[in-house]
């Protein structure tokens, strides 16, 4: 493993503050967009923005961007499992 954090270069304060500013902008955007009358697209827009925000938190605040293949692979596995649960549940609920 090359990702020994004890010796890794720290993430700069500037990068962290920029990510925080992006998260606040996305929060404002999601509140604004969901006030509009978009019908079914409202749910899609809200979830897309939430996923983007979640991705920023995981990549920068949780350092996943700087981690090795093991943690990245396990994260993918966990999210794929969740997606599978959601997919199979709705395959049942929608076509019952």
Partner 1 sequence: MSHAPHRDYAGAKLGMWLFLFTEMLLFGGLFILYAVYLHRYPGEFAAAGHRLDLVLGTANTVILLTSSLLAAMAVTAVQRGEGRIAVLALGGAVLCAGGFLAIKYAEWSVKFSHGIYPGSPSLVAGPPGESVFFGLYYLTTGLHGLHVLIGGVLLAVVALRVKGGRIHAGDHIWLENGALYWHLVDLVWIFIFPLYYLML
Which residues lie closer than 8 Å to 11 by C-beta, 6 or more apart?
60, 63, 66
> Residue 30 in contact with residue 54, Cβ under 8 Å?
no
Burial class of residue 5, CB neighbours in 10 A (0-12, 13-18, 19+)? exposed
Coil/strand/helix, residue 12:
coil
Considering only 36, 69, 73, 90, the residue that binds partner 1 (CB under 8 A) is 90
Binding positions for partner 1, 7-26, rule CB under 8 A = 8, 10-13, 16-17, 19-20, 23-24
Binding to partner 1 by residue 66, rule CB under 8 A?
no
Residues that bind partner 1 (CB under 8 A): 1, 3-6, 8, 10-13, 16-17, 19-20, 23-24, 27, 30-31, 34, 42-43, 46-47, 49-50, 53-54, 57-58, 60-63, 70-71, 74-75, 78-79, 81-82, 85-86, 89-90, 93-94
């Amino acid at each position: 493993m090359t990702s020994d954090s004890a010796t890794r270069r720290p993430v700069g304060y500037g990068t962290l503050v920029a990510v925080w500013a992006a998260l606040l902008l996305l929060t404002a955007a999601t509140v604004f967009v969901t006030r509009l009358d978009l019908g079914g697209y409202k749910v899609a827009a809200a979830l897309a923005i939430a996923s983007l925000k979640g991705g920023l938190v995981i990549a920068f605040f949780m350092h996943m961007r700087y981690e090795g293949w093991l943690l990245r692979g396990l994260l993918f596995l966990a999210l794929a499992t969740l997606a599978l649960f959601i997919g199979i549940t709705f395959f049942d609920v929608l076509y019952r």
